[in-house]
Amino acid sequence: MRFGALEAGGTKMIVAIGDENGKILERASFPTKTPEETMPQMIDFFKDKEIESLGIACFGPIDLNKDSKTYGYITSTPKLDWKNYDIVGAFKKALNVPVGFDTDVNGSLLGEITWGCAKDKTDALYLTIGTGIGGGVMTNGKLLHGMLHPELGHIRLAKVPGDDYAGKCPYHGTCFEGLAAGPAIEERWGKKAVELADRDEVWELESEYIAQALSSFILTLSPQIIILGGGVMHQMQLFPLIREKVVKQLNGYLNTKELENMDKYIVPASLNDDQGIMGAVKLAIDVKGEIK
């Protein structure tokens, strides 16, 4: 069977055809311009591919409440051309197939849960640290939506003494994203994050903030595994630093078998940056199953 998949990002739209095993058979990518320009390109890609259904893992905020009048819309996004845009409705109308819809980070988590490093888990957290910070959560085998969807990048953290950076988040200044996403690293240190690879103090500070956030998520969500993706996490030296600081911050309060093996507890994404598009394939498979 063939399923359509879209990983909708603020910079680019990745479209693909996948099979029931998550294998990507064909893919393309278009820059995210206006809906008038970009939607026809994506619809053209899917049009004659005989897909059963479509899965969309989408940047947000988005409306995931099926009882809402604006279910399937991108809502208050800073990408103004896409604000209040009915992306699910537009694809349903153009392609006449069922459409599954979730956040980009829930999509990545679903990819990892279905085909990646979190296969046997029922409770997991996926965090992306890139242009922004966002998190997807699975609890008891279900993706967590709540009243909207979690916004794990915007929690408050304790500022490290000596770090006088004002923070980058337009809403909260020094929230997690404001302190630790790629653009914050670049503004604080005055260089592209990738060019700071050999500056130990950069990653020392970065790992402190990431560890603070993860400690809070461990205490509130009790995940069995934490997967870290996104551009910034390509700095692999962060992993041992984060693990060590999380252990220090939790200070022996929790004693679980998962926390005994930190190398397997806090891990990099495992699907070569295909976790998002593969998760979108799974959203398509699931929506087809729901409808049968």
Residue ranges that bind ligand ADP, judged by CB under 6 A: 9, 11, 130-131, 182-183, 186, 192-194, 230-232, 234-235
- CB 192 → ligand ADP: shortest distance, Å? 6
Q: Do 279 and 109 meet the contact criterion of CB atoms below 8 Å apart?
A: yes
Closest to 18 in 3D by CA, of 32, 9, 7, 31: 7
Question: CB 232 → ligand ADP: shortest distance, Å?
Answer: 4
- How far is 42 from 192, CA to CA, in rounded Å? 32
235 binds, among Zn ion, ligand ADP, none (CB under 5 to 8 A by kind): ligand ADP
If contact means CB under 5 to 8 A according to the sort of partner, which of ligand ADP, Zn ion, none does residue 193 touch?
ligand ADP
Nearer to ligand ADP, 188 or 245 (CB): 188
Record the tokens describing residue 179, joined without a space.
Answer: 């302190």
Q: Which residues bind Zn ion (CB under 5 A)?
A: 154, 169, 171-172, 175
Task: For residue 56, list its beta bridge partners.
Answer: 6, 101
H or E segment and range at residue 186 = helix 182-189
Q: Which is nearer to ligand ADP, 130 or 136 (CB)?
A: 130
Q: For residues 56 and 133, which CB has a smaller minimum distance to Zn ion in the complex?
A: 133
Q: Which is nearer to Zn ion, 171 or 252 (CB)?
A: 171
Binder of residue 156, out of Zn ion, ligand ADP, none (CB less than 5 to 8 A by kind)? none
Q: How far is the CB of 48 from ligand ADP (least distance, A)?
A: 29
Place of tokens 């679903």: 110
Contact 38, 44 (CB under 8 A): no
| Helical (H) or strand (E) element with 32 | none
- Binding partner of residue 51 among ligand ADP, Zn ion, none, CB cut-off 5 to 8 Å per kind: none
Q: Quote the CA–CA distance of 153 and 109 in Å, as a whole number.
A: 16
Residues near 168 by beta carbon (within 8 Å), at least 6 away in sequence? 177, 178, 179, 181, 183, 184, 187
**Cβ nearer to ligand ADP, comparing 182 with 223:** 182
Half-sphere exposure of 40 (CA within 13 A, CB side): 3
* Cβ proximity to Zn ion, 18 vs 136, nearer residue: 136
CB of residue 248 to ligand ADP, shortest distance in Å? 24
> Which residue, judged by CB position, is nearest to ligand ADP in the bound state?
182
